Amino acid sequence: MDKLKNMGNYVSSKTQGASSQASKETNKSIAKDSHAPVGTRIQAAGDALGDKMDQHGHEVITNSSIYLLSE
């Protein structure tokens, strides 16, 4: 039963990590856009940092799920 739960956690974290990465890349593009207003660029840069932190958190959970599945 624990392996099933760990597999579900793995799939969920992997999906959420990919979503955070896509959001981060979009926000980075907006932050680099010289045609966007300064406030928008600053907000996008902050959002990209938050997305990177989310992505890293999901990677940690994914790695721990892989470890637990291998036991």
* pLDDT, tens only, 14-33: 899 899 999 999 999 999 99
Q: Report the distance separating Cα 13 and Cα 34, nearest Å.
A: 34
User: Model confidence over 28-54: pLDDT tens digits?
Assistant: 999 999 999 999 999 999 999 999 999
Which has the closest alpha carbon to 62: 22, 17, 1?
17
Whole-number pLDDT of residue 14? 86
**Looking at the predicted structure, is the pLDDT value of residue 9 above 90?**
no
Which has the closest alpha carbon to 65: 20, 19, 22, 4?
4
**Looking at the predicted structure, is the pLDDT value of residue 6 above 80?**
no
